[in-house]
Amino acid sequence: MSTTPLPPLADVLATARVVALPLAVRFRGVSTREAVVFEGPRGWTEFSPFVEYADAEASTWLAGALDFGWNAAPPALRDVIPVNATMPAVAASDVPRVLARYDGCRTVKVKVAEAGQTLADDVARVRAVREAMGPEGRVRVDANAAWNLDEAERAVHALAEFDLEYVEQPCAEIDDLAQLRERIAYLDIPIAADESVRKAADPLRVARAGAADLLVIKAQPLGGVRAALDLVAQAGLPAVVSSALDTSIGLAMGATLAAALPELEYDCGLGTASLFTADVVASPLVARAGGVTLERPRPSSADLDRVAADDERRDWWMQRLRRCYAELELTRG
């Protein structure tokens, strides 16, 4: 983690606002996404670890937020980032309605292995996406580490007919990922690592173990744009930048990371603002012609009032922010 001095906590709290964004489609088991946004010298930034994460893990997200708000961005190599549509674990019949929220995306990431659903549900959903996208569209699936090794192998075989671009985090354990990669090598379907990077004590282990073909990276949970860039350079694998269901402010952080990568072979998961029915700015950072522009959203007070969390949730998040700041103080001596 960076040893850059922390800005004073008072400066962070001075502009901090807790927001609650309603979702058009239930995602990761929630219908509202909460976040803290605040303004630093470089612009607005976001702290939004998922609510179930402990403070030690969440503090890395705060480091990423502070980096984006207080430090200059690395040089941009591109000003438009191609993005994918994200398909929650909806019924196959709902696929066209969700895809209609995305403008011009040539790639769709489909959530699979949802709790309470079956492989047949996944097959039906992916089939519906493939039919909607046609043979030229790109389809990738994300299991969020929900399968064991044998379940993953069975699922990949069941989904292989849909010409998958890659399978994201099919298993939780790195050894299982490595074995699965060997078992399905003849199918020529790459494996992408997400949780094995952002939730790992050693985020480079999955690359050293030969357990993945590419990395899915997120700026905030990896401690910031520079930390993520350094990780990709050390890993030596292709990377796709993704969001953690961020507000448009957090998506701008991801776009800054994607813009700075020396190579960007894959469409990025930075189009998720399309899943919200309201955002922190009047003009959200949504896909237009299949891409998002490199811009820094600046919310007005009215924008933030419109999506303000209630008092109980505001207090919960502000206490969490203070605890995570204290964690960072300890780690930085």
Cβ neighbours around 263 below 10 Å, total: 9
Respond yes or no: is residue 218 known to be catalytic: yes
Is the CB of residue 100 less than 8 Å from the CB of residue 94?
no
Is the CB of residue 192 less than 8 Å from the CB of residue 212?
yes
One-letter amino acid for residue 97 of the chain: R
Helix, strand or coil, per DSSP, at residue 95: helix
Q: Indicate which residue of 218, 226, 314, 320 is catalytic.
A: 218
Put residue 224 in one of left, alpha, beta given phi > 0 → left and psi -120 to 50 → alpha: left
Contact partners, residue 42, CB within 8 Å, separation at least 6 = 68, 69, 70, 71, 72, 73
Respond yes or no: is residue 199 known to be catalytic: no
Tokens 């009215």 sit on residue: 302
For residue 89, report the phi and psi dihedrals to the nearest 5 degrees. -80, 60
Q: Indicate which residue of 33, 111, 125, 140 is catalytic.
A: 111
DSSP-derived secondary structure for 183-226: HTGGGT--EEESHHHHT-SSTTHHHHTT--SEEEE-TTTTTSHH
CA 82 to chain centre: 15
Catalytic residue positions? 111, 218
